[in-house]
Amino acid sequence: MIQKVNLKENVNMIDELFRYKRVGTLNNHMLNVLQAENRTLDFHIHENSDEMFYCIEGEFDIEFEDGLTHLCEGDFLIIPKGTKHRPICKALVKCLGCVKQSL
């Protein structure tokens, strides 16, 4: 049977920061929730896949070579493959991410 997924319940089950919890797979793309705080990732590029971020709770920035995009609760952003970017989380944020699985 097909089952629904509650993102808030799943992200709140995570008991430590920066631990990904897979909540689904869509067309070879992993859907993961996580909690992050006080972390800036290195700039990186996904060569073979677009990447999506959905802000469940809190707020954070995605930095690109030409500036920042601020995401708040309820916002989502699709980053086209080949685009250099990095997430910047200052306060606690809970989000959903989606990127193609590595084979």
Q: Is the pLDDT of residue 103 over 70?
A: no
Q: What pLDDT, on a 0 to 100 scale, did the predictor assign at position 40?
A: 93
Segment 31-88, tens digit of pLDDT: 999 999 999 999 999 998 999 999 999 999 999 999 999 999 999 999 999 999 999 9
Q: Are 24 and 5 in contact (CB under 8 A)?
A: yes
Report, as an integer, the average pLDDT of 12-28.
93
- Tell me the CATH number at 62: 2.60.120.10
Sign of the alpha-carbon torsion through 43, 50, 16, 70 = positive
Domain count, the chain: 1
Domain hosting 81: range is: 7-100
In a domain, 72, yes or no: yes
**13 occurs within a structural domain:** yes
Whether the predicted model's global pTM rises above the 0.85 cut: yes
